[in-house]
Amino acid sequence: MYKKISSIAIGLFILIGASIGYYYYQKIFGTSITKEVVLFVNSTDNLMDLNNKISAVSTKKEGFLWVAARKGFTKPKSGRYLLKKEMSNNDLVNLLRSGNQTPIKLSFNNQDSLEKLASRIAQQLETDSISLLNSFKDPAFLSKIKMTEKSVLQIFIPNSYQFYWTTTPQKFRDKIFNEYKRFWNQSRLTKAAKLNLSINEVITLASIVQKETTKVIERPIVAGLYLNRLKKEWPLQADPTIIYCIREIKGQNYKVKRVLNSDLKINSPYNTYKNKGLPPTLIAMPDISAIDAVLNAQKHNYFYMCANIENLGYHSFTRSLLQHNKNAKRYHRWLNKQRINR
């Protein structure tokens, strides 16, 4: 009888022990994450902040802090972490303690100013736009790369890049500059030399081409037209440079749908109606297609261009001033009919 009771007690003890062991095993090693999810850990987050974020995506909400305490994990490392399906609380603690974050694919398109660029980047990294802007305008950095606050925009080539979410403004800026130097490979440098243009001049012309037409297929034609004017030492008479001048006065967000004759009198080195040659710096951020359009400009005899009202978005190109004036009159009549006065 005593043996039977003893056997039952031992069995119950083993069963209870096994249940407790299984409970803690599940708490530590059981699946906590049921689907792939991205977790952002800010540099200001403490362990409780982290626990609250994990609780929102975990099936074992009460287990993370318990495992963290047992493993002596108290200070999370900031970053963007990819939490994979079937990760346990033990896996989470190991990942977050290691700081092994997953990089992001950061991208930006054409921006007209450093301020707009900084705002775009700040939406994708932990840092803020003011810190980014200050790093772009840092006098020591500008002196090192021989650029100014106006010209430094050219180092930012619109594309997709890999960065860690916690990348500092200085490291972001420096990596972008290294990417810019890689972009200017021997092939592009050779093409620029054949045009007798420096890198800065290529990008400045590309920025005008970028603003002149959104049609990539047209860009080599537009680039060729402006190169023809440069060779003849004619003023470029590029409306995008006038819009740049207006926005320097009125602000970057000022809407300009029509350039007026009075605008052509603005006293600015960027006014290509009053000044021959290229402006001092780029007027906007050109994308790769605009830069390569200049480097691979189409050879032709066009000297004039005007918006094509039959095929909006495209242009009519001509060799003669007489034909250009006819095209311009038609375009101005169309603008008046549309009541586009500014």
DSSP 164-187: -TT--HHHHHHHHHHHHHHHS-HH
Whether residue 252 is predicted with pLDDT greater than 90 in this model: the reply is: no
Domain boundary among 118, 150, 183: 183
Closest by CA position to 311, among listed 217, 189, 204, 173? 217
Helix (H, G, I), strand (E, B) or coil at 319: coil
- Same domain? 155 vs 208: no
Q: Quick one: pLDDT at residue 262? A: 92
Residue 22 pLDDT greater than 50, yes or no:
no
Instruction: Say whether both 323 and 211 belong to one domain.
Output: yes
Percent of all residues in the chain with a pLDDT value above 90, rounded to a whole number = 73
pLDDT score of 335? 86
- For residue 342, tell me if it sits in a domain: no
- CA nearest to 239, candidates 121, 171, 332: 332
In this predicted model, what pLDDT tens digit does every residue of 182-231 receive, in sequence order?
A: 999 999 999 999 999 999 999 999 999 999 999 999 999 999 999 999 99
Q: Mean pLDDT of all residues in the chain?
A: 89
pLDDT single digits (tens) 66-83 = 899 999 999 999 999 999
Q: Are residue 200 and residue 333 in the same domain, yes or no?
A: yes
Q: Tokens 């594309």 map to which residue?
A: 159
Average pLDDT, stretch 237-246? 96
Amino acid identity at 8 = I
- pLDDT at residue 318 greater than cutoff 70: yes
Question: The domain containing residue 302 runs over which residues?
Answer: 186-337
**306 occurs within a structural domain:** yes
Residue type, 181: K
* Distance in angstroms (rounded) separating the CA atoms of residues 262 and 50: 59
Query: Of residues 270 and 7, which shows the higher confidence score?
Result: 270
Number of domains in the chain: 3
Q: Write out the two tokens for 299.
A: 């050879």
> What is the arithmetic mean of pLDDT over 281-299?
97
H-run or E-run covering 244:
helix 239-250
pLDDT single digits (tens) 141-179: 999 999 999 999 999 999 999 999 999 999 999 999 999
Task: Indicate whether 190 and 116 sit together in one domain.
Answer: no
Q: Is residue 57 part of a domain?
A: yes
Share of the chain above pLDDT 70, in %: 90
Q: Is residue 68 part of a domain?
A: yes
Same domain, 218 and 331: yes
pLDDT at 208: 98
Average pLDDT over residues 304-308: 93
Sign of the CA dihedral running 150, 155, 160, 165 = negative
